[in-house]
């Protein structure tokens, strides 16, 4: 990827960086020579001159603005942003409480808005930058017991596309990566019974794989590779795209 990725020496901000996909995005960005502001609810445990670990709750717009302003002043211009933070609800609609609905939208939709807006305010001045939102293939097709999650991801996806349209005249690109089932704590949590993630319900991984033409779940690196491509100069003429990384599940 390094031949023309253009990521070497750039600064990227990643949310949800302590999770399965976020960790992979941070690792691959560093391998490409980028410096990374790695954020999550608690600061990720990372060390090195090329990483700034920070605690950041994406639902707190004032905290988002403050961190991004601080990084811009003390570290340099943030060239790339990756919205990875997200939470899942698998309640049916009749089970979904107001609190759950609002929480899912607060993280998955409002969080993407807060972070993208704060980054865009700096990027428009420089007329340079690239954003990627990790959406979901659940945003495109109705799923059982996923109304809040799928709706929040559909909103984040359309928001990112509209932002891409606004920023395109400035050369700033905004894209979406839509993973299918990916082997992370979020996914394995769905397979756990009510006693916790340690006990995976028999047959669940096989049931998920059977719906995927490529016959396997995505790894976090599969998703991170797509994120890095869209962030990079190799995707220089791609904006408002929604790249599915789901082994063909959506089109089967
Ligand atoms: P994960 O649960 O391993 O990581 C999510 C991270 O987001 C966690 O580290 C968590 O602390 C962080 N987070 C939660 N609320 C936050 C908040 N308010 N502020 C900041 N950080 C917060 O999950 P995974 O699988 O790595 O998911 C990453 C993204 O990929 C999510 O947006 C998820 O919806 C999406 N995705 C995941 C799929 C999967 O099968 N694992 C499939 C499709 C999409």
Instruction: Determine the distance separating the centroid of ligand 1 and the alpha carbon of 3, expressed in angstroms.
Output: 30
Share of the chain above pLDDT 90, in %: 88
Catalytic residue list: 149
Q: Looking at ligand 1, which residue's alpha carbon is closest to its atom 34?
A: 86
Q: Is the CB of 57 under 6 A from ligand 1?
A: yes
Model ipTM over 0.90:
yes
Instruction: Determine the distance separating the centroid of ligand 1 and the alpha carbon of 16, expressed in angstroms.
Output: 6
Mean pLDDT score, 1-9: 79
Instruction: Determine the distance separating the centroid of ligand 1 and the alpha carbon of 23, expressed in angstroms.
Output: 10
Q: Looking at ligand 1, which residue's alpha carbon is closest to its atom 8?
A: 19
Instruction: Determine the distance separating the centroid of ligand 1 and the alpha carbon of 42, expressed in angstroms.
Output: 13
Atom of ligand 1 nearest to the CA of 220: 26
Q: Which residues contact 176 (CB under 8 A, 6 or more apart)?
A: 132, 133, 134, 135, 156, 157, 160, 161, 241, 242, 243
* Beta partners for residue 80, in sequence order: 12, 130
Ligand 1 pocket mutation pick from 13, 14, 15, 16 by most atoms within 8 angstroms of CB = 16
- 123-161 confidence digits (pLDDT tens): 999 999 999 999 999 999 999 999 999 999 999 999 999
- 212-233 confidence digits (pLDDT tens): 999 999 999 999 999 999 999 9
Burial class (CB in 10 A: 0-12, 13-18, 19+), 46: middle
């Amino acid at each position: 990827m390094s031949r023309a990725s253009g990521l070497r020496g750039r600064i990227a901000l990643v949310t949800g960086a302590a999770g399965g996909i976020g960790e992979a995005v941070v690792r691959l960005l560093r391998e490409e020579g980028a410096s990374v502001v790695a954020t999550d609810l608690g600061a990720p445990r990372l060390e090195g001159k090329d990483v700034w670990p920070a605690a950041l709750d994406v639902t707190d717009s004032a905290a988002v603005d403050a961190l991004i302003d601080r990084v811009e002043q003390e570290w340099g211009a943030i060239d790339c942003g990756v919205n990875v933070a997200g939470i899942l609800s698998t309640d049916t609609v009749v089970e979904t409480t107001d609190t759950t609905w609002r929480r899912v939208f607060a993280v998955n939709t409002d969080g993407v808005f807060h972070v993208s807006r704060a980054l865009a305010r700096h990027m428009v001045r420089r007329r340079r930058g690239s954003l990627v939102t990790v959406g979901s293939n659940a945003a495109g097709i109705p799923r059982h017991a996923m109304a809040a999650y799928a709706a929040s991801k559909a909103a984040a996806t359309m928001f990112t596309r509209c932002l891409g349209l606004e920023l395109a005249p400035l050369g700033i690109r905004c894209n979406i990566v839509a993973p299918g089932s990916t082997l992370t704590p979020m996914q394995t949590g769905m397979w756990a019974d009510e006693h916790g993630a340690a006990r995976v319900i028999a047959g669940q991984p096989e049931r998920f794989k059977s719906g995927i033409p490529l016959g396997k779940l995505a790894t976090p690196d599969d998703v991170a590779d797509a994120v890095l491509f869209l962030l990079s100069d190799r995707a220089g003429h791609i904006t408002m795209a929604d790249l599915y990384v789901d082994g063909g599940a959506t089109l089967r």
